[in-house]
Amino acid sequence: MKRRFKAKRKRKNYLIWWLFLIVLSLIINNKIIDKISFGYLINDSSNQNLFNFKFDKEKLLLALGLNYHKILSKDNASEQPVFNEQEYINPKIYIYNSHQTEDYSDGDVLKAGELLKNELESHDIDVVLETRDVANTIKEQNLQYKDSYKITRGYLEENISDNYALYIDLHRDSSNKETTTYNDGEKNYARLMFVVGAKHDTYKDNYRICDELNKLLKNNDEKITRGIFVRKSSSYNQDLNSHIILIELGGPYNTMEEVSNTIKVLADTLAYYVSV
């Protein structure tokens, strides 16, 4: 009888041990999945809403915090992955600010938009910078601050065409200085973050573009980007076109010098993206 109870206890211990291993495996897998971009987990080629798990060496290395390789050097263009599916002979980018009153310690997002325009034009990118006064239009139409997206939606509808490779809504985040600043040992950068509104059915297309740009930035300097934030309660006008993206650049305590340092890296990345 004693031997039988011992055998039962042994089987029970084995069962607990295997359950522990299964739970541990699920936790580890979940952590890895969290670090891999959502766009790589969704199988867009299928009409079914199924997950497609594939081994991606590049994404795995990025998840481990390692650079896959430097991909912004055009000397090795034949070896580089092509991220952009559509070719533009004369690529154009439309830059606008839904929240024009967002400011930095010594400047604002309007100035940041001008800096980005100038940097992109130095790469021979044709840029249209929206200069109409959103804040004044809100006041004239007796609207609220949150209605700024209604105003810029009208601007977008006027400009959307096949000639534009990207539409960038440039914002400033409200986080603290520590969160929005990065030092590479030589100078400070205002960290940036992509924001995707998931309130519309095709948000995965907007996400894919942000994911590609984020990957390019991360391979160049992984700490300059804070990644991609998905908000399910908003669309940020991204339902109008899959090439509309929102970038939060720096925070209220960043200087224009820090913003400018980041814009140079961002412009290099955007120029590469629309040109490949």
The per-residue pLDDT for range 163-212, each reduced to its tens digit, is 899 999 999 999 999 999 999 999 999 999 999 999 999 999 999 999 99
> Percentage helix, strand, coil, to 5, in the chain?
45, 15, 35
Strands 181-183 and 188-190: antiparallel
Backbone φ and ψ for 70, nearest 5 degrees, come out as -75, 120
Start-to-end CA span in the chain (Å): 76
What kind and span of H or E run contains 129?
Answer: strand 126-129
- Tell me the two tokens of residue 261: 């340092």
SS3 state of residue 46: coil
SS3 state of residue 222: helix
pLDDT over 50 (residue 65): no
pLDDT over 60 (residue 102): yes
Burial (Cβ within 10 Å: 0-12, 13-18, ≥19) of residue 7 = exposed
**DSSP, res 184:** -
SS3 state of residue 119: helix
SS3 state of residue 227: strand
Q: Which pLDDT tens digit goes with each residue over 216-251? A: 999 988 899 999 999 999 999 999 999 999 999 999
Q: Which pLDDT tens digit goes with each residue over 70-85? A: 333 334 433 343 444 4
